[in-house]
A and B are shown apart, each in its own frame.
Chain A
Amino acid sequence: MMELHVWEGEAKYGLPSMDLKSLQMMAYVKFSGAPVTIIKSSNPFKSPTGKLPVFKCSEGAFSEFSEVTTFLRKQNFSCDYELSARQCSEVVAYEQLMLEKLYPALIYLWWVEPKSYYEVTHKWFFSNMPFPHKFWYPRRYHQGYCDLINSMFDDPDDSQLVETELHKQAQECLTMLSNRLGDREYFFGRTPSTIDAVIFSYLALLLKVDLKVPVLQNHIKACPNLSRFVSKAVQRFFPSEGLRGAGSRESPGKDDMPHKGRNLLLSGLVALSAMFGYAIAAGLVQVDMGEQPIEEEYDYEYDDYNNEEGSSGE
Chain B
Amino acid sequence: MSRGHNYQVEKGRIPFIKAGAFVVAELDPIVAFVANKGVTLTEGLDTTQKADMRAYMSLVSNVLANAELYVSWVDRTTYEEVTMSRYGSVHPWPLNHVLTKQKRQQIHRRLKVLGWKQKSLEEVYNEVEHCCSALSERLDKQEFFFGKRPTELDALVFGHLFTLLTTPLPDNRLATIVRSFSNLVKLCQVIERDFFERNNGGSSSGNGEGDYDKLEDLNQLPM
Residues of A within 8 A of B (CB): 85-86, 88-90, 92-94, 96-97, 99-101, 144, 147-148, 151, 154, 172-173, 176-177, 179-180, 182
- The 0/1 profile, CB within 8 Å of A marked 1, for residues 11-33 of chain B is 11000000000000000000000
Give the complex CA separation of A93 and B53 in angstroms.
9
Q: How far is the CA of A176 from the CA of B58 in the complex (A)?
A: 13
B140 within 8 A of A: yes
A172 — which chain B residues lie within 8 A by C-beta? Answer: 54
Looking at B11, B55, B59, B62, the one whose CB has the most chain A CB atoms below 10 A away is B55
Residues B82-115 near A (CB distance < 8 A): 109-110, 113-114
**A104 to nearest B CB, angstroms?**
11
| 16 new A-B contacts at CB < 8 Å, known A100-B61, A154-B12, A179-B47 | A88-B134, A88-B137, A92-B59, A92-B130, A93-B55, A93-B138, A94-B55, A97-B55, A99-B58, A99-B62, A144-B113, A172-B54, A176-B47, A176-B54, A177-B51, A179-B48
B51 A89 Cβ-Cβ under 8 A: no
- Note all chain B residues with C-beta closer than 8 A to A154: 11-12
Q: Please give, as numbers and ranges, the residues of chain A lying within 8 Å of B134 by CB-CB distance.
A: 88-89, 92-93
Q: Does the CB pair B137–A151 fall under 8 Å?
A: no
**Does the CB pair A96–B58 fall under 8 Å?**
yes
Majority secondary structure, A binding face: helix
Quote the shortest CB–CB distance from A167 to chain B (angstroms): 16
7 pairs across A/B with beta carbons < 8 Å? A96-B63, A151-B109, A151-B114, A176-B47, A176-B54, A179-B47, A182-B48
**Residues of B in contact with A (beta carbons under 8 Å apart):** 11-12, 47-48, 50-52, 54-56, 58-59, 61-63, 109-110, 113-114, 130-131, 133-135, 137-138, 140
- A234 CB, min distance to chain B CBs, angstroms: 24
Bound: A94/B62 CA distance, A: 12
Chain B nearest CB from A147 CB (Å) reads 5
Residue of B11, B52, B110, B114 near A90 (CB, 8 A) is: B52
**Smallest CB gap from A100: residue in B:** B58
A49: min CB distance to chain B, Å: 13
Given A89-B138, A144-B113, A154-B11, answer yes or no on A96-B47 (Cβ-Cβ < 8 Å): no
A107 CB, min distance to chain B CBs, angstroms: 11
Complex contact A85–B62 (CB within 8 A): no
| Smallest beta-carbon distance A52→chain B, Å | 17
Q: Is the CB of B61 within 8 A of A151?
A: no
Distance in angstroms from A85 CB to nearest chain B CB is 5
Residues of A within 8 A of B51 (CB): 176-177, 179-180
| Residue among B61, B133, B138 facing the most chain A CB atoms (10 A cut-off) | B138
Cα separation A92 to B126 with both chains bound (whole Å): 14
Chain A neighbourhood of B131, CB < 8 A: 92
Q: Output the nearest chain A residue to B135 by Cβ-Cβ distance.
A: A89
How far apart sit A88 and B12, CA to CA, in the bound complex (Å)?
A: 37
A151 vs B114: C-alpha distance in the bound complex, in angstroms? 9
Contact B110 A101 (CB under 8 A): no
- Max chain B Cβ within 10 angstroms of own Cβ: one of A92, A148, A154, A180: A92
Out of B50, B133, B137, B138, which one reaches A176, CB within 8 Å? Answer: B50
The minimal Cβ–Cβ distance linking A295 to chain B, given in whole angstroms, is 62
Q: CA separation between A313 and B31, bound complex, in Å?
A: 112
Nearest-neighbor residue (CB-CB) of A84 within chain B: B137
> Which A residues are CB-close (under 8 A) to B109?
147, 151
Which of A96, A177, A182 is within 8 Å of B62, CB to CB?
A96
How long is the Cα–Cα vector from A140 to B61 in the complex, in angstroms?
Answer: 29
- A99–B130 Cα distance when bound, in Å, is 16
Closest to A150 in B: B113
A297 nearest CB across to chain B (Å): 67
Contacts of B138 in A (CB 8 A): 86, 89-90, 93
Q: Please, how many angstroms separate the alpha-carbon atoms of A147 and B117 in the complex?
A: 15
* A86 to B, closest residue via Cβ: B137
Q: Please, how many angstroms separate the alpha-carbon atoms of A90 and B57 in the complex? A: 11
Task: Give the CA-CA distance A88 to B137 in the complex, in Å.
Answer: 9
Q: Is the CB of A101 within 8 A of B58?
A: yes
Q: Find B58's partner among A88, A89, A93 (CB 8 Å cutoff).
A: A93
Query: Do B52 and A180 touch (CB < 8 A)?
Result: yes
Chain A residues whose CB sits within 8 angstroms of the CB of B140 once the complex forms: 86
